[in-house]
Amino acid sequence: MSLSTQVNAEGKESNETYTRHADDTVKLRNTNIADMDRDILYHIALDSGIQNLPQMFGDVRFVCLGGTPKRMEKFANYIMKEIDLKLPTGATLLNISQRSYRYAMYKVGPVLCLSHGMGMPSIGILLHELFKLMYHAKCKDPVFFRLGTCGGVGIEGGNLVISQKVVDGYMQPFLDMAVLGQLHRRPAILDQELSEELSDLRMKEDPFTITQGTTMCTYDFYEGQGRLDGAFCEFTEGDKLTFLNHLHDNHIVNMEMESLTFAALCHHAGIRGAVVCVTLLNRLHGDQVAESKEVLEKWQKYPQILISRYIKKHLNIKPN
Amino acid sequence: MSLSTQVNAEGKESNETYTRHADDTVKLRNTNIADMDRDILYHIALDSGIQNLPQMFGDVRFVCLGGTPKRMEKFANYIMKEIDLKLPTGATLLNISQRSYRYAMYKVGPVLCLSHGMGMPSIGILLHELFKLMYHAKCKDPVFFRLGTCGGVGIEGGNLVISQKVVDGYMQPFLDMAVLGQLHRRPAILDQELSEELSDLRMKEDPFTITQGTTMCTYDFYEGQGRLDGAFCEFTEGDKLTFLNHLHDNHIVNMEMESLTFAALCHHAGIRGAVVCVTLLNRLHGDQVAESKEVLEKWQKYPQILISRYIKKHLNIKPN
């Protein structure tokens, strides 16, 4: 805890000395890794002792994470068209982490697309291994995005939320972890410039609004988000609405299950990160995700559209 | 919190009045569900308003959960052979939850096989929806198993651990949750009779030992389990070994990432549950999962062998 507090107090410049080499490649806050002959990235099925990771991944600049393998495979194919990258005849995108059976990973030129599963522990394992991958591959100043789904608080389904702050289920802006049996607290801080830049990429004709605000990140989908429709429910509808209105009054605009770990680990690693989620419903009006598969599929493309614009801008590709 | 504490103090008989109807079918600790015309089990792609859940799932007696879709597909095919269930010519097992892209579900007669993903939130969402499925389908007294992988503490790779108790990263036998912004604590209690019965199913010629003991369940795989090989590490090898030896001295025999939620939610639902994990390494000797794919695949069958014996015994099928 001493280190993260210290860095936090000293500000960005000091954070960079811990997380960047002079040539802008990623430096790890763990000197053990440099001493290992071989680092097995078990959950993404890569191995620094067997594979030439700098050759395979050295050009990665954008890392895009989303919940399900299918959504991220679709995103990979979408971004391939958007950045006009063509595979040789007879080739197709490969799920690079297929052998792990845990996460799916697709690489489209400088864009890495991965599924992170559900919940903070699942995205946490992935981030540890991706930060190590960035280090082994000598990637320069990569930027990370979570493209997610969420429940809106006062926002109707089918709109985007860009997280400015993230809080836990007790409204604290920290990731609390047990390390060697002791409480370890990391601030969950997202890159404000990046959030602003993403927000500015909205176009007048977009079918969605964009709200910047605070995200509540929980460990549970049912009781943890005040739903009445879980297997257990020991509060009333009145209790629930009091809670949701309290969140609304405190500028909490959505709820999901991964952003706290994403923000805390990216910040600690000195990696720029942003969270862009589409709302699947307005929690002030209900609990069940009841839209048709077709509508949900359409909405889940909205974060992809925005992130694609960002990537194209930074690759100097003209917008459509 | 009042309800769970109350039930816990009153013991098993009282728990049953909350969790079982007179005919042994599952009763939910949530009266809202009975009032809903339609319950969408979003993450497993089932819908009580469209599907006839009692007809589809009413015969389920054994619910088997494991981390990855592939492992659980293999288990489904294995148990199909073991209980001598034959599909009609030209038929194959279907992933019932395929449309969710989140969990995989296979049904083999009275055995339901599902992947739960990684971490407590992921298995938690699934358990809420499975308990509701048991309720809608009118299943009678189902028994739940987690067939997992883990790190051994003083146990070499390729052996089984049956959890008697589960503790969190601070060695507390509770699941702490935020519900409507307040701390909510549920005791993580596993069925001791079931654990004993499973342990007795070991045969002399088995290539694995079985240890009954306490499991530590964490929210993180790297720092949370005292590993030196994460993207971050702010403790020494000496600190790590002091921690692991302290666990060992307190009869903690393995570490994994789902059992605390499994134990707490099953207990609260009045559903018998057991956790059987195979060790992939002995954490007293290292951090990396370095065995070959072939060895790991072989080991991951060990929990399946034991659970299959249990299921066959209770279906009155002779052992092989």
- Residues of each annotated binding site of B for substrate: 225, 227
* pLDDT at site B3: 40
| Confidence band of A11 (pLDDT split at 50, 70, 90) | low
Q: Where residue A43 falls among pLDDT bands split at 50, 70, 90?
A: very high
Q: What chain B residue is nearest to A290 in terms of C-alpha separation?
A: B40
Class of the CATH-defined domain A2-314? alpha beta
Whether the model pTM is above 0.90: yes
What is the per-residue pLDDT for A14?
67
Q: How confident is the model at residue A15 (pLDDT cuts 50, 70, 90)?
A: confident
Q: Please report the pLDDT score of residue B267 as a whole number.
A: 97
Q: What is the pLDDT at residue A6?
A: 42
> Is B181 touching A (CB cutoff 8 A)?
yes
Say what the pLDDT of residue A94 is.
95
Cα atoms in the Cβ-side hemisphere of radius 13 Å centred on B39: 27
Let me know: does B215 contact B251? Beta carbons within 8 Å: no
Q: What is the pLDDT of residue B8?
A: 45
Is residue B320 predicted with pLDDT exceeding 80? no
B67 Cβ partners below 8 Å, 6+ apart?
A: A102, B115, B116, B117, B118, B148, B149, B258
Complex prediction ipTM: 0.94
Average pLDDT over residues A17-38: 94
Interval A221-233 mean pLDDT: 98
d(CA A231, CA B268): 10
Higher pLDDT, B282 or A14: B282
Of B69, B71, B290, the CB nearest to A40: B290
Nearest to B124 among A177, A220, A290 (CB): A220
Tens digit of each residue's pLDDT (9 = 90 or more) over B83-122: 999 999 999 999 999 999 899 999 999 999 999 999 999 9
How far, in Å, are A145, A191, A197, B55, B245 from residue A194 at the CA level? Answer: 10, 5, 5, 51, 44
Q: Is A4 exposed, middle or buried (0-12, 13-18, 19+ CB in 10 A)?
A: buried
pLDDT in tens, B219-228: 999 999 999 9
Q: First-to-last CA distance in chain B? A: 46
pLDDT tens for B12-68 read 556 788 899 999 999 999 999 999 999 999 999 999 999 999 999 999 999 999 999
Which of the four pLDDT bands, split at 50, 70 and 90, describes residue A64? Answer: very high
- A28 interfaces chain B, CB cutoff of 8 Å: yes
Question: Which letter, b or e, does each residue of A122-146 get, where b requires 16 or more Cβ atoms within 10 Å of its Cβ?
Answer: bbbbbbbbbbbbbbbbebbebbbbb
Per residue in B266-307, pLDDT (tens digit) is 999 999 999 999 999 999 999 999 999 999 999 999 999 999
Q: What pLDDT was estimated at residue B11?
A: 52
Question: pLDDT tens digits for B186-211?
Answer: 999 999 999 999 999 999 999 999 99
The domain locations on chain A are 2-314
Two structure tokens written together for A183? 């409480």
CA nearest to A171 within chain B: B181
Asked if A37 reaches chain B (Cβ–Cβ under 8 Å), the answer is no
User: Would you call A78 an interface residue with chain B, using a CB distance cutoff of 8 Å?
Assistant: no
Distance from CA of B82 to the nearest CA of A (A): 24
pLDDT in tens, A271-291: 999 999 999 999 999 999 999
Above 60 in pLDDT, residue B241? yes
Phi, psi (rounded to 5 degrees) for A25:
-75, 155
Nearest to A270 by CA among A7, A6, A44, A1: A7
**Tokens 């007293």 appear where?**
B284
Per DSSP, the three-state class of B168 is coil
Q: What is the mean pLDDT of chain A?
A: 94
Query: Looking at residue B114, what is its pLDDT?
Result: 98
Using a CB-CB distance cutoff of 8 angstroms, which residues of chain B are in contact with residue A231?
28-30, 33, 127-129, 131-132, 135, 265, 269
Mean pLDDT of the region A1-27: 68
Kindly state whether A69 is in contact with chain B, defined as any CB-CB distance less than 8 angstroms: yes
Taking CB atoms and an 8 Å limit, are A177 and B67 in contact across chains? no
Return the SS3 of A241. helix
